[in-house]
Structure 1
Amino acid sequence: MEDVLRQLVAYLRGMWLYRWWGLIGAWLVGAIAAGAIYMLPDRYESSARIYVDTQSVLKPLMSGLAVQPNVDQQITILSRTLISRPNIEKLIRMADLDLTVKTNKDREELIATLNKTLQIRGTGRDNLFTLSYEDTEPERAKRVVQSLVSIFVESGLGDKRKDTDSARRFIEEQIKTYEQRLDEAENRLKDFKIKNMHLMLGGKDYVSQVGEVAGQLAAARLALREAENSRNALQRQLVGEEPVLLPENQLERKVSIPEIDGRIDVMQRNLDGLLQRYTEVHPDVVGTRRIIAQLQEQKKAEVEARRSESGGYGDVNANPVYQQMKLALADAEANVASLNARVAEYEARQAQLQASAKLLPQVEAELAQLNRDYEINKKNYETLVGRRESANMSVEMESSSGMAEFRLIDPPSVPLKPSAPNRILLMPLGGAGALLFGLALTFVLSQMRPTFLDGRELREVAGLPLLGTVHATPDPVRRRRRQRLNLAFLGGVSGYVGAFGVLTVALAMLKIT
Structure 2
Amino acid sequence: MDELLRQATAILRGMWQRRWLGIIVAWVVGAASVAAVLAIPDKYEASARIYVDTQTILRPLMTGLVTQPNVDQQVMMLSRTLITRPNVEKLIRMADLDLKIESKSERDALAEALMASLKINNTTRDNIYTINYRDTQPEQAKRVVQSLVSIFVESNLGDSRKDTESARKFLDKEIAAYEKKLEEAEGRLKQFKLRNLGNESAEGKDHFSRMSAAAALLEQSRLELREAEHSRDALKRQILGEEPVLLPEASQEPIAGVSIPEIDSRIDVLKRNQDAMLQRFTEKHPDVVSTRRLIKELEEQKQQEIVARRKTALTNPDSSVNTNPVYQQLKVSLSETEARVAALQTRVAEYQARYDRLKSAVTLVPQIEAEFAQLNRDYEINKKNYEQLVQRRESATLGSEMDNVAGVDFRLIDPPRASPKPVAPNRALFLPLTLLLALAAGVAVTFAASQLRPVFFEARSLREACGLPLLGTVSLVADEGRKSRERKDLLRFAAACVSLLGVYGAGILAFFLLSARTA
Shift of residue 395, structure 1, vs aligned partner: 2.6
- Matches for 1:85-104 after TM superposition, within 5 Å: 85-104=85-104
2:486 aligns with 482
- Matches for 1:77-226 after TM superposition, within 5 Å: 77-201=77-201, 202-226=203-227
Alpha-carbon distance in 2 for matches of 1:219, 1:110 = 99
Shift of residue 84, structure 1, vs aligned partner: 0.6
Shift of residue 218, structure 1, vs aligned partner: 0.8
Alpha-carbon distance in 1 for matches of 2:389, 2:14 = 87
| SS of 1:98 mapped into structure 2 | coil
Which range moves more in the overlay, 155-164 or 341-350? 341-350
Letter of the 1:432 counterpart: L
1:351 aligns with 356
1:283 aligns with none
- Matches for 1:290-309 after TM superposition, within 5 Å: none
Shift of residue 80, structure 1, vs aligned partner: 0.5
Give the conservation status (yes or no) of the 8 Å contact 2:133–2:145. yes
- Matches for 1:228-247 after TM superposition, within 5 Å: 228-229=229-230
- Matches for 1:284-433 after TM superposition, within 5 Å: 336-403=341-408, 405-433=409-437
- Matches for 1:275-286 after TM superposition, within 5 Å: none
Letter of the 2:93 counterpart: R
Letter of the 2:109 counterpart: E
Alignment: residue pair count: 444
| SS of 1:502 mapped into structure 2 | helix
Letter of the 1:441 counterpart: V
Shift of residue 237, structure 1, vs aligned partner: 8.2
| SS of 1:49 mapped into structure 2 | strand
1:454 aligns with 458
1:277 aligns with none
Give the conservation status (yes or no) of the 8 Å contact 2:242–2:327. no
Alpha-carbon distance in 2 for matches of 1:472, 1:139 = 72
Letter of the 2:72 counterpart: D
| SS of 2:422 mapped into structure 1 | coil
Change (3 A) 1:14 1:352: farther
Change (3 A) 1:94 1:243: farther
Shift of residue 334, structure 1, vs aligned partner: 6.0
CA RMSD of aligned residues (A): 3.2
In structure 2, stretches of 5+ residues that fail to align are 247-318
2:306 aligns with none
- The sequence identity of aligned pairs, in percent, is 55
Change (3 A) 1:366 1:502: farther
Give the conservation status (yes or no) of the 8 Å contact 1:46–1:414. yes
Letter of the 1:163 counterpart: D
Letter of the 1:158 counterpart: G
Aligned pair partner of 1:465 in 466, 469, 491: 469
Alpha-carbon distance in 2 for matches of 1:3, 1:213 = 122
Shift of residue 444, structure 1, vs aligned partner: 1.8
Change (3 A) 1:374 1:110: same
1:501 aligns with 2:505: yes
Give the conservation status (yes or no) of the 8 Å contact 1:46–1:133. yes
Shift of residue 459, structure 1, vs aligned partner: 2.0
Shift of residue 228, structure 1, vs aligned partner: 4.3
Letter of the 2:221 counterpart: A
Give the conservation status (yes or no) of the 8 Å contact 2:47–2:418. no
Alpha-carbon distance in 2 for matches of 1:101, 1:348 = 100
| SS of 2:450 mapped into structure 1 | helix
Change (3 A) 1:119 1:199: same
Shift of residue 329, structure 1, vs aligned partner: 7.2
| SS of 1:83 mapped into structure 2 | coil
| SS of 1:431 mapped into structure 2 | helix
Letter of the 1:35 counterpart: A
Change (3 A) 1:81 1:326: same
Give the conservation status (yes or no) of the 8 Å contact 2:51–2:127. yes
- For residues 421-470 of structure 1, the C-alpha deviation after alignment (integer angstroms, 9 at most, x for no partner) is 22222222223223222222212211211111112211221223333332
- For residues 185-237 of structure 1, the C-alpha deviation after alignment (integer angstroms, 9 at most, x for no partner) is 33333333343344442321233222211111112222333444456667778
Change (3 A) 1:2 1:169: farther
1:252 aligns with none
Change (3 A) 1:221 1:36: same
Change (3 A) 1:466 1:352: farther
Give the conservation status (yes or no) of the 8 Å contact 1:227–1:335. yes
Change (3 A) 1:183 1:330: farther
| SS of 1:99 mapped into structure 2 | coil
Alpha-carbon distance in 1 for matches of 2:417, 2:206 = 82
Change (3 A) 1:461 1:349: farther
Shift of residue 315, structure 1, vs aligned partner: 13
| SS of 1:97 mapped into structure 2 | coil
Give the conservation status (yes or no) of the 8 Å contact 1:237–1:243. no
Alpha-carbon distance in 1 for matches of 2:405, 2:39 = 56
Shift of residue 83, structure 1, vs aligned partner: 0.2
Change (3 A) 1:243 1:394: farther
Letter of the 1:420 counterpart: A
Normalised by the size of structure 1, how large is the TM-score?
0.77
Shift of residue 420, structure 1, vs aligned partner: 1.6
Alpha-carbon distance in 2 for matches of 1:143, 1:479 = 70
- For residues 63-92 of structure 1, the C-alpha deviation after alignment (integer angstroms, 9 at most, x for no partner) is 323333222211111110000111111111
Give the conservation status (yes or no) of the 8 Å contact 1:243–1:322. no
Alpha-carbon distance in 2 for matches of 1:44, 1:415 = 6
Shift of residue 354, structure 1, vs aligned partner: 2.9
Alpha-carbon distance in 2 for matches of 1:366, 1:452 = 111
Give the conservation status (yes or no) of the 8 Å contact 2:243–2:321. no
